[in-house]
């Protein structure tokens, strides 16, 4: 029986996910032409044969969870039957990936055990390549997953285990972060498109990257919410870090660390930007190594106890690591460059984090060509913050 090990982040999300906190995220592709669903299904079938470790269900062992391959690929779903809002994946014999399609778009939703944002971009680009091949287009496979190729063992590497050192990392100080008061509502995902060149120019003008610039605006808008409530708690924006940038790995499984940009007291926007820049300079090899060591240390603690105790151990770290000092999330997948053979047939991309019952507003963005798409996932009735953020960025 084939089993695929899942690393720290996969174990964490499996232990803590629920219908109210699904642990999912998604990538949506908007086409300039009508989608042919039959060809998309064939492309999914071919890609899943090449990626058996993605075409899996979640199983529980005595100590930890693991993945077991499924015989059949997932069936694509019409958005008329299931709108794409990063729903919870039921445990059991279900796939951990779903594809939802409309007239000129499709969304790939995944559970966080099978990949991270960087991996999802590669998976979706490879799916698009196969789809357009089936439509008769010749596509270069450089940098993509070739559906006609074979699986490579390093694609399922547990990169946390590979790079973990013996020395236990020291956790960052946990802050009692501000959390907006809100009236709960049905989950919703709101998307806005921006001129990427304009955003880049504005960010450069204040000496920031696009990521730093958007984080600063999010902090600024959270200041407005905090002032209305009279709170003095610090605001923390949690930011995922792709560890592969500094610790090379071909693994498609999650290999991510996190850092929190924190604002204590109200200051003007230029000072917010500089403070964010300063805080993100903490992203160094030493910082990521410390996080990897910490994650792997937590896994080792649970290696000698039954699963229900292992789950309890991981749940105890909510507020550390993944959710350290978290008022909200912001994840930027950056600029995506699909193969030139079909890039002009794509309208835009949209990247979404799952809405969370306890964190009312989460933000994500991605850029295709000159279109930067910003998304807010929310479980709150009041979404005025996104309208203000959109106005500030334009």
**13 by DSSP, 3-state: which?**
helix
- Mention every residue, 6+ apart, whose C-beta is less than 8 A from residue 133: 43, 139
Q: Is the pLDDT of residue 336 over 90?
A: yes
Q: What is the per-residue pLDDT for 170?
A: 63
What CATH number labels 4-162? 3.30.559.10
Query: Per-residue confidence at 270, pLDDT binned at 50, 70, 90?
Result: very high
φ, ψ at 257 (rounded to 5°): -115, 175
φ, ψ at 187 (rounded to 5°): -60, 140
| Higher pLDDT among residues 88 and 269, named by residue | 269
End-to-end CA distance of the chain: 54
**Residue 167 carries which DSSP code?**
S
Q: What is the per-residue pLDDT for 321?
A: 45
Which pTM was predicted?
A: 0.93
Q: Is the pLDDT of residue 36 over 50?
A: yes
Q: What is the per-residue pLDDT for 64?
A: 83
Q: In terms of CATH, what superfamily is 170-393? A: Nonribosomal peptide synthetase, condensation domain (3.30.559.30)
- List, in sequence order, every beta strand (DSSP E) within 35-81: 56-60, 65-69, 77-78
Query: Per-residue confidence at 20, pLDDT binned at 50, 70, 90?
Result: confident
Please state the domain extents for the chain. Answer: 4-162, 170-393
Domains 4-162 and 170-393 share a fold: yes
Distance separating alpha carbons of residues 394 and 94, to the nearest angstrom: 42
Query: Per-residue confidence at 318, pLDDT binned at 50, 70, 90?
Result: very low
């Amino acid at each position: 029986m084939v089993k695929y090990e899942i690393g720290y982040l996969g174990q964490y999300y499996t232990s803590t996910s629920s219908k109210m906190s699904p642990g999912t995220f998604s990538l949506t592709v908007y086409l300039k032409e009508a989608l042919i669903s039959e060809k998309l299904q064939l492309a999914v079938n071919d890609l899943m044969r090449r990626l058996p470790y993605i075409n899996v269900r979640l199983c529980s062992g005595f100590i930890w969870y693991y993945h077991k391959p499924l015989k059949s690929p997932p069936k694509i779903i019409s958005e008329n039957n299931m709108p794409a809002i990063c729903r919870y994946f039921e445990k059991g014999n279900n796939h951990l990936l779903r594809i939802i399609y409309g007239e000129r778009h499709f969304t790939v939703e995944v559970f966080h055990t099978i990949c991270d944002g960087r991996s999802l971009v590669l998976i979706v680009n490879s799916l698009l390549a196969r789809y357009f091949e089936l439509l008769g287009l010749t596509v270069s496979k450089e940098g993509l997953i070739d559906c006609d190729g074979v699986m490579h063992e390093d694609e399922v590497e547990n990169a946390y285990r590979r790079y973990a050192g013996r020395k236990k990392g020291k956790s960052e100080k946990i802050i009692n972060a501000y959390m907006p008061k809100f009236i709960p509502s049905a989950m919703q995902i709101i998307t806005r498109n921006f001129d990427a060149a304009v955003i880049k120019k504005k960010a450069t003008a204040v000496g920031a990257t696009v990521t730093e610039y958007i984080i600063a605006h999010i902090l600024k808008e959270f200041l407005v919410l905090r002032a209305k409530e009279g709170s003095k708690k610090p605001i923390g924006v949690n930011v995922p870090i792709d560890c592969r940038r500094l610790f090379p790995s071909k693994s498609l499984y999650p290999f991510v660390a996190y850092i929190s940009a924190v604002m204590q007291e109200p200051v003007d926007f230029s000072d917010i930007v500089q403070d964010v820049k300063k805080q993100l300079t903490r992203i160094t090899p030493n910082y990521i190594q410390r996080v990897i060591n910490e994650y792997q240390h937590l896994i080792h603690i649970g290696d000698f106890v039954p699963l229900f105790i292992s789950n309890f151990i991981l749940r105890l770290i909510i507020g550390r690591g993944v959710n350290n000092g978290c008022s909200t999330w912001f994840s930027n997948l950056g600029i995506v460059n699909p193969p030139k053979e079909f890039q002009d047939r794509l309208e835009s991309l949209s990247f979404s984090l799952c809405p969370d019952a306890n964190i009312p507003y989460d933000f994500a963005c991605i850029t295709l060509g000159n279109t930067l798409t910003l998304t807010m996932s929310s479980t709150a009735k009041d979404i005025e913050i996104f309208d203000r953020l959109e106005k500030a960025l334009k």
